[in-house]
Structures are given as C-alpha cells and as structure tokens.
C-alpha cells in the first residue's frame, strides 16, 4: 500500500476507515432523518454525534439483554430501528423478571449522564439496529449543546426516578407484572427445575470473573487487544461453549452453530449479552497459571514439598530461587527456538511477580514482592483437577478412570503450542510487573541493574523525551509507582500545595478549574503537576481520575528540586564573545572498561564496574562539537572496544545540521593548523623544547583527523563512498599525508592508517563503478536489480508516460533525473500541440488520487504506487485525470494467472520472501531514513530510492494478502489461502523476517478481510491462536512495548518492522527542536541516532543468511505480485464475498 504524504503509520485499515467514514455517516443521517424523533436535529450536530461513534450499526436479535442494572457505563445508544425495553430486574435475580419502565422506538438516543453504572436493564424487544457512542465523547457534545439536545434524549436515570415513586406507591398493594408481552415468564426460557438450577448456577459462574472453564484448557487465541471494535478490527474468535457469546456471534447469527453443549452448561441462547472481550485479562492469567501449575505437577513435582521457614513448617510450598530456575529452563525450552535469545533472570522474576500480583501464587507471609531466594511460595489458584494431579504426583502412571474428561484435558493442556503462547504472553507482561516492583522499592534498595532497567523504561516516555540522559538516570533512582483503583478519585485540588510531579502510565485524568469546569483531559504518557513545583506555587487546577485502576509515575518535590539543582550545577557552558558555543553535562556514572555511558551496561555483565566522570554533550555549534570530538574522544578509539556513543551519534546524524562540505572544510583546517609559540626574550628563536612541542601537536592534529576519517568510514560503510564530497576529501587528505610523511618525522603510523583507508576505498569503488542496472521495468521489480548492493543514481528504470490524448511512450530514465528532465525527454516523442506551454508530471493512483511532482523531484519511478500511471499534462488538465479500468484489474480475468500457492509450498514462499527482503534491507542505508523523515527537499541531489523500494514492497505484501483472499471463488478456497498466509507469517517469524510477518498481519487485519466473520469462524483454532499472537505483537500501548520486547530477544540478522522505525524517527523529529538559541540540540540527535543504530545493528554480518534460491523463476514469482491497491475496490469485493450488515 502506498504511503501518502505526511503519513507515518502502517495500518492500512486506517485508510478504509477514513475513506468510508463520510459516506457511512451521510447514509446514517438520511436514515435517521426519516424518523420523527431526530428529524429536527441539525445536520451539523447529528454529524458530530455520529462521527464519534462506531459508525457501523450493531444488529441484535430479539430477547437479547444489552446491559444489566449495575453494569459499568461505557456508551450512549442511538436506536436506528427496532425496539428496546428498559426495565428494573427483580430481587430474585431472574433475568427477565422485573418491572417494566419504557419501550424505546427507532430514533431514541438513550444512556446515562451522571452515573458510572446503569440504573436499569435493557433488552431487545424486536430485532434492533443501534450505534454505540463513547460515553466521554457524548458528554463533551452534551456539555456544549445541553439545552438543544435535552428534548431528544432519553436519560435512563430520570425514567427510573420517575417510575420509582409509582412503584413505591404500589408496593403496599402488591405490584403485579401484567405486561406479559414485554416480560416473558421465566418458565418460557427454562422449562424444568433442573434446567433452572443449572441456568442460575452457570449465570453466577459466568458473572464471576474468576470462574474457571473446567473443560477448556488454556486457549490464548481468545484474547487480542484489537478484537473489539466493528470497523477495521477483528470480531472473529469464538469463545468455547462455556463463554458468553461475543457481539460478533450474536450480530451475525453464528451462536451455537458448531459446538455441542455439555450437560451442565449455560445455554448460549439464554439471551445474556456482553460487550466485553470474549476472555478478559484476569481469566486469561488464571488459565496461564493453571497451565504452569499443571506442568510443574506433572514434570517437576519435587519442587512442591514441605519447607521450613522462620522456624515454621509449610506444606506444599516452593522456594523462589528454585521456581525461577524452573521457569527459566521452561522458557529456554519453548521460546528460544523462536527468539534466539535467553531470558535473563530478572525477566523471569518479573514473570513470577506478575503471577504474584494476580494471586496466582502467594508468599507464605503475604509479602507483595517476589524474591529470587530461598523464600517459600505456594500456588493459590484453585484447580478443578487438584485430586487428579495429587494422585499423579504419587503415581506417575495414574490415569483418570472416567476416561472422557480429565485425560484429554491434560494432554491438551500441556501441548507445545499452548505452552509457547502462554509463556510468550506472560513474558510480555513480566517487564511491566518488574518495573512496578522496582518502583515500589525505596530508592536506596534499588540495585544498579534495576536502575538501568528503570532508565531503559523511562526512555520510551514522551513526557521525559526532552530531558537529558543524566536527568533520566537520576529520575530512575527516585521515581515511584502509584495506582488508584476507582475513577473519580481526586489526586489533588486547586489551591493545594504542590508536592509531586505525575506522569500517566495508564489511564486518563480530567483537569478542571473553578468556574470553568473540565478544561482538558490528559492521557497515557502526559505529565502534570510540574508547574507548582518549579514556581513553588499552589496547584492551578484539580486533577480527577477518569478511569479505574489508573497508574502513575510520581516524583516527589524534594527529589524534583534536587535533580534540577544538580542538573544546573553539572551543566558546563563554554562561550566565546559572550555567547554559548558548547553546553556539556557532567556525568558521574559507573562504567565498564571505558565504555561510554550511553552504552547499555547490562551487555557487559562480566566486566568490573568503576567510577567514571565524563562530560555529555547537550548542545553546541557543529564545529565546536567536532572540535570537542577531536580533542577528547578520538584518541580513545580502539578497534577492540565499542565505539564511543557521542562520536557515533555525531557521524550518523551530522547531515541534519552539518553539511559534509563544511565538515570536510573544518577537518582540513584542523589538519593543517600550526601552533604559534612565543619567542625567547633574547630574540634567538624558540627553545628546542618548544620546537618539540610544536611538532608533537601538529602530529597529534594530523593523526586525529585521519583517525576520524577511518571511524567515519567504518560507521557509514558503503554510503560514505557514495558521497562525492567525502570521496574528494579522502583524496585530498591522502595527498597531504603523503607530503607530510616526507617532511615530518613520526608520520609512519598516520601514513599506514591512510593506506588502510585507501585500500578500503579502492575495493568499494570497484563495486560502485559498475554499469547501470535495471531496477524497475514498468513498475515490476527487475531480476537485474543490484540488491543486496545499494541502487545508485546511475541505475535506470523503464517507465511508461501517458497523455490525456490516449498516447503513451516508454522511456528509460535514470534515478538522478528530475521530473523536468523526464518532461523534456518525452516532449519530442509525444508531440504536444502546445509544446511551449508549461507541463506537469502527475501520478494518478488507482483510487483516483493525484500527485503533482515538483520539477526538481528525482527518483520518480521508485516513489509511485504499484498500479499508478504517470501523465504529462497542462495545468488545466490535471483535474480531469482519472484512473483507467486496467488500474483496477481483476486477477481471475487473466487466463494465464496461476496463484503462487499452486506453485510453491508455504515454507518455500516464506524462505524466498525472507531472502528477497533481506536483499532489499541490506541495500538500504541509515541516511535514507533521515532523508525520508526530514524531507527530501532539505537534501537536494540525494534520494532514498532503496528505502522507497523497501516500503513499496511492504505495501505490496499487505495488498497481496487482501487481494489473494478476496479473489478466490469459493469459501473453502478462501479458508485455505487464509490458513496458508498464517503459516507463511509464522515461518517468516522464525526466519526473523518481521517485515513480512507484520505486512501479512496488517493485511489480514484490514477492513476488507477482518469483516468476513464466516471466513474467520471457519479457521481452525490452531491458526486462530497463531494469528492472535501476531496481532498482540502490534499492540501500540506503551509505545509498542510488546514489539520492542520481542525484538530485544532476537539476534541479528533481523529484517525489522521498518514502518515503526520511521514512526519513531518522525515523533522524535517533530516532538523536539533541532536548534535551541542557535545551538544544535544534541539530545535530539542522540535519540535519532539510537533509531538509526538499531536499524544498522539488525543487518547480517554477511549477506544471504537464508540459503540462496536455486530456481530463478521461483524468485521472480515472489518478487512481483499481482495486487489490487484501491481500497474502494477491495471493499466492493469484500461485500461480494459477505454482504454489508446495515
């Protein structure tokens, strides 16, 4: 999928949503205007209400309960058609027994205004279509238009209050329920007493969040953070027979179609309706705990035995250090094959801490922190199979004689796939628990390793992104964790004394001011309360929690002020002529073998730590930062040690603020500089010692420049020699070194280093001085393309250019040609009638969008979308350009088309995808990311063609997954192709090809595919579980924490999720100024360099880490897919497969 200008995300589902939003809202407005209730509501107000809703109506059959009295309020409801009844349930808790309040008809807009829980219950009386509007969004609209909206609203609390008086007056006479049509008798649902007892028993179990499904072993596929909403998200994972039916099941009449009901099981047709996830987090953790407990009881029962602790004997407990060893071995066994890296011990402690926080295990004396030592813990989770496992521990050959229930559960509960999913999910939760555990410790009890872990977590908080590295490290030792269970809790009030600074870790808060009400809402990652600490003034506003279980990071006032004072005291400002030219921060840290403070110390656990004092560059003029490097850092460069972080950051980011021409000019001046020493008083020239000092300083300067060039070359590698200015500078310095080696003693070492640089340059230039290669042939990736070598500006593309007069010409254009050059080449061949009028080069996409290129734009063929066409037109003709029919071609209309799935196995496809994507990734250099994010216009003459090709491929993969499924003629074939895509994604995950993995995942998550409920229902659970795991890695919460944890466990070579790296760069660039008071903000440069470094470190040490493809024709099939990249066309195909649900 092509990335539109200004877009830095990656989910193509967003495009379908934005594309359909206007048309869907307009269609709903027409429908609602026909109803008398809302016919007089202004179009603008109705549009506002619908725009903050889910837009796609829910269709629910009769006798289904939407919500019950006491349920949390999350939405307002707009009834489009049908009838909904509001009623009060009776005290006997029978679902349909109760007191009738009101029947709502189409056009009703109803909900709660002031309550957090529903004041009554609601059920569907006749098949209903309704839209849910998020409660907080509706309240914002209501606060602005309350007087106007009041007449159209049905406020449930007011109805309850109004009817309450009638009910009270009737209570002495005995209230009877006569509206049998509205409230069916209970025995119409359950006809026998035994059924009623079982029904009530199971209803109580279902409402209890800790209820364990006894015939359902751990099933990770029922949870994913993206399965809730209706547009562009998933609603396809069916709960097992004991679960409440999800909205997707009721909505599409798929309830109870493919599974049998056990004897004592709640009837899925019992009409209890929930809008929550099919399986909440609490139940999921319980099942993970059950699986681990059963595994321990079967495989390592000796861990649970009688232990003596604090002179007391505890039965059936286990020591913390032993179960850490056990879980570490278990994760190594099940996860190391997929992550290629071991979990460290602190990560395992975090996993046990999470189980401790959720009462899966407990300390015998109820301590709240898990400790990796000989302290006893016990399982507190109730297992319905406890008796079986107790006998199994005594007799390992014991089997359940009932034969039909226990043994299959044990076999399924301990299978490899379930264990992998459980451990992987728990491993993603462990770091959060470890983070909370550390922050709950007093500052003085936090170990250096724990401080490093907290510091690494703080790096991803946007509220701290502007702070220096040293301040973040100081915060790691004093920051605390704070959690509040209930929404509405007041953190502090306006006028209170400022005592703490807060950062929202989870949840949101309302900011209110006396006389103005709520003026703002802050969300995850935002901070508040700092102003009162800085100014030592009272609180300027009141902060109230909007959500339950909100979590905060807190810095107390005395720590905050101390860090500010220390930061100012440790800041060193160097100035010239009264102006700051360099700002340094004094850093006192523990370092290991001269490793710069910016490196991760945990990577060097076997090296002794020492106290080290150095300076970190915060800001400065470019030439002064370079001088600081030459004077203080370059002498310490050693081939056997990691490179100084500041030096590497400078080289990676210098193109942003220090043009190569200026950089080379300063280096030349530094190389040629001489010392001017005072003469002797007697006028007889210099002291001999002075001559020695002068010579030594000149040699040092020359050595530093040559060493800097070598480091520059090592960091940028091939891309260094692609810069003509840098190439010329190497030749110039080489001439100077050769001349100086004839005149100055002591130049031998410098000369040898320069010869080494020259040898590398000559070898690289042999590869770069090649004939032009064909990169794209009319949009198709060429077999002659140079990857894994970078595409050069001399490389060519065959491109077809069209006119509005149905004429066209195919030309060969090099990547360095501008749009104006292309126009001039085409003019004589296209024979325009008005040849002297200004012409424009325009891209017309398959969806109708048009892009007019600037005359100076280069590398045009690599930028355009797959099914786009290029036109040369006059200015007046631009608006008349529309896509042609062949731009939305249908694959099954091509007689010779054969799907790649009919040619190759899934493992072969995945292997070749990885090989091809590895070549594209290796060809892309880090500077192309900077050019793409900061703007190509800021780097004239430079292109990012290799990155364009890589991102073009990522978009192609997404559309390929969608197109291939939708163009299958029968349901069975679509299910087969969906299953194969999930298998390919799993193989790519094992190959560390995350680009393919997430391209396929996002393609399958897009609206045209995710809405096909019948298709997803037919998918076997094994593949549903795998796909749910892929989606969980894309959870965007906590700055894509799940993905980052997963990445940290992989070892190179890796093909990373490049769109997320571009997103990180964009946020860093747009959220931080490049210059402060004329000085380069090097803290920003450090953050940018971290992203570039992670990109660089993913590359293989040697190319082709997947065996080369033996059959070129197979690689050709993988390189070019036939796709439809028009979202509108894909949605039309999707509706043909499964009709619109409106």
Write down the mean pLDDT value for the chain.
78
Q: What is the per-residue pLDDT for 705?
A: 95
pLDDT of 415 strictly over 70: no
Alpha carbons within 13 A on the beta-carbon side of 587 = 21
Instruction: Identify the DSSP state of 116.
Output: S
Cβ proximity of 326 and 297 under 8 Å: no
Strand 480-484 to strand 550-556: parallel, antiparallel, or no bridges (unpaired)?
antiparallel
Q: Where are the domains of the chain?
A: 13-185, 282-439, 443-569, 659-758, 770-888, 893-1056+1098-1142
Q: What is the per-residue pLDDT for 35?
A: 59
Q: How far apart are CA 566 and CA 561, in angstroms?
A: 9
Q: What is the per-residue pLDDT for 23?
A: 64
Q: How far apart are CA 1100 and CA 824, in angstroms?
A: 42
pLDDT of 1122 strictly over 60: yes
Higher per-residue confidence, 950 vs 942? 950
Give 1058-1105 pLDDT, tens digit per residue: 999 999 999 899 888 999 889 999 999 999 999 999 999 998 654 444
Cα separation values, 236 from 223, 277, 750, 1012, Å:
11, 11, 67, 8
Q: How far apart are CA 864 and CA 779, in angstroms?
A: 9
Q: What is the per-residue pLDDT for 206?
A: 29
| Nearest Cα to Cα of residue 1078 among 682, 623, 772 | 623
Tell me the CATH number of domain 443-569, given options 3.40.50.10800, 3.30.70.3270, 3.20.20.70, 2.60.120.10.
Answer: 2.60.120.10
pLDDT of 63 strictly over 60: yes
Q: Nearest 5°: CA angle at 313, between 311 and 316?
A: 150
Higher per-residue confidence, 898 vs 493? 493
Q: How far apart are CA 506 and CA 523, in angstroms?
A: 8
Within a 10 A sphere around the Cβ of 976, how many other Cβ atoms?
Answer: 14
Dig out the tokens for 346 from the structure.
């602190």
Q: Which DSSP string corresponds to 206-229? A: HHSTT---TT----GGG--TT-S-
Mean pLDDT of 389-394: 57
Q: What is the per-residue pLDDT for 424?
A: 83
Cα separation values, 469 from 76, 228, 443, Å:
46, 39, 19
Question: Per DSSP, what are the bridge partners of residue 898?
Answer: none
Tell me the CATH number of domain 770-888, given options 3.30.110.30, 3.80.30.20, 3.30.1450.10, 3.10.20.90.
Answer: 3.10.20.90
Q: How far apart are CA 989 and CA 910, in angstroms?
A: 9
Q: What is the per-residue pLDDT for 45?
A: 78
The backbone torsions φ and ψ at residue 363, rounded to the nearest 5 degrees and listed phi first, read -80, 145
Dig out the tokens for 314 from the structure.
């505890």
Q: Band of the pLDDT at 159, cuts 50, 70, 90?
A: confident
Q: What is the per-residue pLDDT for 685?
A: 44
Q: Band of the pLDDT at 885, cuts 50, 70, 90?
A: confident
* CA atoms 693, 698, 704, 707: torsion sign: negative
Q: How far apart are CA 212 and CA 138, in angstroms?
A: 36
Q: Do domains 13-185 and 443-569 have the same CATH topology?
A: yes
Give 661-676 pLDDT, tens digit per residue: 999 999 999 998 753 3
Q: What is the per-residue pLDDT for 891?
A: 52
Q: What is the per-residue pLDDT for 588?
A: 65
Cβ proximity of 817 and 857 under 8 Å: no
Question: Per DSSP, what are the bridge partners of residue 591?
Answer: 610
Q: What is the per-residue pLDDT for 429?
A: 86
Cα separation values, 55 from 12, 231, 236, 277, Å:
18, 8, 19, 19
What is the CATH T-level fold of the domain 659-758, as seen in this structure? Son of sevenless (SoS) protein; Chain S, domain 1 (1.20.870)
Query: HEC string of 825-870?
Result: HHHHHHCCCCCCCCCEEEEECCCCCEEECCCCCECHHHHCCCCCEE
Q: How far apart are CA 1038 and CA 225, in angstroms?
A: 13
Radius of gyration of the chain (CA): 34
Query: Quick check: helix, strand or coil at residue 257?
Result: coil
Cβ proximity of 470 and 527 under 8 Å: no
| Nearest Cα to Cα of residue 1011 among 1130, 1122, 1098 | 1130
Mean pLDDT of 690-703: 79
Q: How far apart are CA 184 and CA 197, in angstroms?
A: 18
Mean pLDDT of 524-538: 90
Helix (H) or strand (E) holding 401: none
Mean pLDDT of 510-514: 94
Q: What is the per-residue pLDDT for 399?
A: 52
Q: What is the per-residue pLDDT for 859?
A: 93
* CA atoms 1052, 1054, 1057, 1063: torsion sign: positive
Give 698-746 pLDDT, tens digit per residue: 899 999 999 999 999 999 988 898 889 999 999 999 999 999 998 888 8
Q: How far apart are CA 143 and CA 114, in angstroms?
A: 12
Proportion of the chain above pLDDT 70, given as a percent: 75
Length of the chain: 1142
Long-range residue pairs from 746-750, CB within 8 A, at least 24 positions apart, any chain: 746/695, 746/699, 747/699, 747/702, 749/703, 750/699, 750/702, 750/703, 750/706
Q: How much helix, strand and coil, in percent to the nearest 5, is found in the chain? A: 50, 15, 35
Q: Which DSSP string corresponds to 60-102? A: E-TT-EEE-TTPBP-EEEEEEEEEEEEEEEPTT--TT-EEEEE
Strand 796-802 to strand 774-777: parallel, antiparallel, or no bridges (unpaired)?
parallel
Strand 542-545 to strand 509-513: parallel, antiparallel, or no bridges (unpaired)?
antiparallel
Mean pLDDT of 427-449: 90
Q: Diameter of the chain by CA atoms?
A: 127
Q: By mean pLDDT, which of 87-101, 107-121, 949-963, 1064-1078 is the weakest?
A: 87-101
Q: What is the per-residue pLDDT for 282?
A: 73
Alpha carbons within 13 A on the beta-carbon side of 343 = 31
Give 37-61 pLDDT, tens digit per residue: 676 777 777 777 877 676 677 888 7
Cβ proximity of 1055 and 1098 under 8 Å: yes
Cβ proximity of 945 and 1103 under 8 Å: no
Question: Per DSSP, what are the bridge partners of residue 504?
Answer: 552
Proportion of the chain above pLDDT 90, given as a percent: 39
Higher per-residue confidence, 208 vs 364? 364
Q: What is the per-residue pLDDT for 341?
A: 58
Q: Band of the pLDDT at 248, cuts 50, 70, 90?
A: very low
Residue whose entry in the numeric block shows the structure tokens 């990547």 = 815
Under 8 Å CB-to-CB from 325, ≥6 apart: which residues?
Answer: none
pLDDT of 614 strictly over 60: yes
Give 462-476 pLDDT, tens digit per residue: 788 778 778 888 999
pLDDT of 696 strictly over 70: yes
Q: How far apart are CA 443 and CA 432, in angstroms?
A: 18
Cβ proximity of 768 and 721 under 8 Å: yes
Please return the burial class of 952, using the count of CB atoms within 10 Å of its CB with bins 0-12, 13-18 and 19+.
buried
Q: What is the per-residue pLDDT for 558?
A: 92
Mean pLDDT of 157-185: 49
Q: What is the per-residue pLDDT for 673?
A: 75
Mean pLDDT of 1007-1020: 93
Helix pair 994-1005, 1021-1033: axis angle to 10 deg? 110
Residue 516 CA, chain-centre distance (Å), reads 37
Q: Band of the pLDDT at 366, cuts 50, 70, 90?
A: confident
Higher per-residue confidence, 294 vs 711? 711
Q: How far apart are CA 579 and CA 583, in angstroms?
A: 11
Q: How far apart are CA 331 and CA 349, in angstroms?
A: 12
| Nearest Cα to Cα of residue 235 among 1007, 1083, 919, 804 | 1007
Give 321-335 pLDDT, tens digit per residue: 999 999 999 988 888
Q: What is the per-residue pLDDT for 870?
A: 95
Q: How far apart are CA 587 and CA 609, in angstroms?
A: 15
Q: Nearest 5°: CA angle at 309, between 304 and 310?
A: 165
Q: Band of the pLDDT at 896, cuts 50, 70, 90?
A: low
pLDDT of 192 strictly over 50: no
CA terminus-to-terminus distance, the chain: 28
CATH number of 282-439: 1.10.10.10
Query: Quick check: helix, strand or coil at residue 812?
Result: strand
Q: What is the per-residue pLDDT for 589?
A: 54
Q: How far apart are CA 583 and CA 945, in angstroms?
A: 37
Dig out the tokens for 25 from the structure.
């809202």
Q: How far apart are CA 120 and CA 112, in angstroms?
A: 10
Give 199-245 pLDDT, tens digit per residue: 333 333 323 333 223 333 223 232 222 322 333 333 333 333 333 23
Give 253-268 pLDDT, tens digit per residue: 333 333 333 332 222 2
Cα separation values, 739 from 586, 666, 670, Å:
41, 20, 17
What is the CATH T-level fold of the domain 893-1056+1098-1142, as seen in this structure? Son of Sevenless (SoS) protein; Chain S, domain 2 (1.10.840)
The helix/strand count (H/E) of the chain reads as: 38, 31
What is the CATH T-level fold of the domain 13-185, as seen in this structure? Jelly Rolls (2.60.120)
Q: What is the per-residue pLDDT for 894?
A: 57
């Amino acid at each position: 999928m092509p990335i539109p200008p200004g877009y830095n995300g990656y989910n193509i589902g967003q495009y379908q949503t934005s594309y359909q939003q206007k048309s869907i809202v307009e269609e709903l407005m027409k429908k609602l205007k026909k109803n008398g209730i809302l016919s007089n509501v202004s179009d603008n107000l109705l549009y506002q209400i619908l725009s903050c809703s889910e837009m796609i109506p829910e269709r629910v059959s009769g006798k289904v309960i939407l919500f019950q009295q006491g349920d949390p309020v999350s939405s307002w409801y707009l009834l489009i058609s049908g009838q909904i009844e509001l009623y009060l349930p009776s005290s006997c808790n029978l679902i349909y027994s109760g007191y009738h309040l009101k029947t709502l008809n189409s056009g009703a807009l109803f909900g709660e205004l002031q309550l957090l829980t529903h004041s009554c219950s609601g059920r569907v009386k006749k098949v209903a279509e309704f839209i849910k509007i998020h409660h907080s969004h509706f309240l914002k609209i209501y606060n602005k238009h309350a007087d106007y909206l009041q007449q159209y609203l049905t406020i449930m609390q007011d109805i309850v209050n109004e009817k309450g008086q009638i009910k009270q007056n009737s209570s002495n006479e005995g209230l009877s329920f006569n509206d049998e049509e509205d409230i069916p008798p209970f025995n119409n649902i359950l006809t026998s007493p035994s059924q009623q007892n079982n029904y009530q028993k199971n209803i109580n179990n279902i409402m209890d969040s800790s209820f364990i499904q006894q015939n359902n072993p751990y099933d990770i596929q029922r949870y994913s953070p993206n399965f809730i909403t209706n547009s562009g998200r998933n609603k396809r994972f069916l709960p097992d027979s004991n679960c409440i039916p999800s909205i997707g099941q009721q909505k599409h009449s798929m309830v109870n179609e493919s599974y049998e009901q056990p004897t004592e099981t709640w009837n899925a047709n019992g009409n209890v309706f929930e809008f929550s996830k099919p399986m909440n987090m609490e139940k999921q953790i319980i099942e993970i705990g059950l699986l681990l407990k059963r595994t321990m009881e079967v495989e390592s029962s000796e861990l649970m035995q009688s232990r003596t602790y604090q002179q007391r004997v505890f039965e059936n407990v286990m020591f913390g250090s032993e179960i850490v060893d056990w879980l570490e071995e278990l994760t190594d066994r099940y996860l190391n094959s997929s992550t290629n890296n071991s979990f460290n011990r602190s990560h395992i402690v975090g996993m046990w801490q999470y189980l401790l926080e959720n009462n899966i295990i407990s300390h015998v004396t109820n301590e709240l922190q898990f400790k990796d030592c000989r302290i006893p813990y016990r399982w507190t989770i109730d297992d319905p199979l406890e008796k079986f496992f107790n006998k199994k521990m005594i007799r390992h050959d014991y089997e359940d004689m009932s034969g039909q229930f226990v043994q299959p559960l044990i076999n399924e509960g301990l299978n490899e796939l379930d264990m992998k999913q459980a451990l992987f999910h728990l491993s993603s939760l462990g770091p959060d628990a470890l983070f909370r555990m550390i922050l709950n410790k007093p500052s003085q009890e936090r170990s250096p390793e724990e401080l490093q872990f907290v510091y690494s977590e703080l790096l991803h908080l946007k509220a701290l992104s502007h702070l220096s590295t040293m301040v973040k490290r100081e915060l790691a030792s004093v920051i605390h964790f704070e959690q509040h269970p209930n929404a509405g809790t007041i953190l502090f009030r306006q006028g209170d004394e400022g005592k703490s600074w807060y950062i929202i870790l989870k949840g949101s808060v309302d900011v209110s001011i006396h006389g103005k009400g709520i003026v703002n809402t802050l969300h995850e990652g935002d901070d508040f309360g700092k102003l009162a600490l800085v100014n030592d003034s009272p609180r300027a506003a009141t902060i109230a929690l909007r959500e339950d279980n909100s979590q905060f990071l807190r810095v107390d006032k005395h720590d905050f002020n101390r860090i500010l004072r220390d930061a100012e005291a440790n800041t060193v400002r160097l100035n010239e002529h009264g102006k700051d030219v360099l700002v340094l921060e004094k850093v006192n840290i523990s370092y290991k073998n001269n490793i710069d403070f910016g490196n991760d110390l945990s990577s060097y656990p076997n090296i002794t730590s020492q106290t080290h004092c150095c300076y970190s560059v915060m800001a400065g003029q470019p030439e002064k930062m370079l001088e600081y490097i030459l004077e203080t850092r370059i002498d310490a460069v050693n081939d056997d040690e990691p490179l100084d972080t500041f030096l590497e950051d400078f080289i990676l980011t210098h193109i942003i603020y220090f043009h190569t021409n200026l950089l080379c000019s300063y280096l030349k001046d530094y190389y040629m500089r001489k010392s001017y020493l005072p003469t002797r008083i007697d006028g007889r020239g210099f002291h001999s010692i002075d001559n020695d000092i002068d010579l030594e300083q000149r040699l040092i300067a020359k050595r530093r420049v040559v060493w800097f060039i070598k480091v520059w070359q090592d960091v940028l590698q091939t891309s260094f020699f692609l810069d003509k200015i840098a190439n010329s500078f190497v030749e110039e310095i080489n001439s100077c070194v050769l001349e100086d080696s004839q005149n100055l003693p002591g130049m031998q070492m410098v000369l040898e280093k320069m010869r080494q640089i020259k040898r590398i340059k000559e070898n690289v230039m042999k590869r770069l001085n090649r004939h032009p290669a064909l990169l794209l042939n009319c949009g198709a990736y060429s077999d002659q393309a140079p990857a894994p070598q970078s595409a050069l500006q001399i490389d060519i593309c065959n491109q077809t250019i069209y006119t509005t007069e149905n004429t066209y010409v195919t030309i060969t254009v090099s990547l360095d040609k501008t749009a104006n050059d292309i126009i001039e080449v085409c003019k004589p061949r296209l024979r325009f009638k008005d040849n002297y009028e200004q012409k424009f080069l325009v891209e017309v996409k398959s969806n109708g969008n048009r892009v007019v290129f600037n005359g100076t734009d280069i590398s045009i063929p690599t930028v355009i979308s797959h099914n786009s066409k290029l036109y040369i037109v006059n200015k007046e003709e631009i608006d008349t350009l529309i896509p042609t029919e062949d731009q939305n071609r249908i694959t099954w209309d091509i007689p010779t088309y054969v799907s790649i799935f009919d040619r190759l196995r899934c493992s072969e496809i995945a292997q070749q995808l990885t090989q091809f994507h590895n070549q594209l990734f290796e060809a892309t250099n880090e500077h192309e990311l900077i050019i793409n994010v900061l703007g190509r216009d800021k780097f004239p003459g430079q292109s990012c063609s290799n990155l364009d090709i890589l991102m073009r491929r990522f978009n192609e993969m997404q559309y390929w997954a969608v197109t291939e499924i939708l163009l299958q003629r029968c349901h069975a074939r679509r299910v087969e192709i969906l299953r194969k895509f999930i298998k390919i994604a799993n193989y790519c995950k094992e190959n560390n090809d995350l680009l393919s993995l997430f391209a396929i995942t996002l393609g399958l998550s897009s609206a045209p595919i995710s809405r096909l409920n019948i298709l997803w229902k037919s998918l076997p659970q094994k593949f549903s579980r795998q796909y749910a795991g892929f989606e969980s890695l894309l959870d965007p919460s906590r700055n894509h924490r799940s993905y980052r944890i997963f990445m940290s466990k992989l070892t190179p070579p890796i093909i990373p999720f490049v769109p997320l790296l571009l997103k990180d760069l964009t946020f860093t660039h747009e959220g931080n100024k490049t210059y402060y008071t004329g000085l380069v903000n090097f803290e920003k440069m450090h953050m940018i360099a971290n992203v570039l470094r992670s990109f660089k470190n993913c590359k293989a040490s040697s190319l082709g880490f997947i065996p080369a493809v033996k059959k070129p024709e197979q690689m050709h099939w993988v390189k070019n897919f036939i796709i439809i990249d028009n979202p509108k066309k894909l949605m039309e195909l999707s509706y043909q497969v499964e009709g619109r649900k409106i």
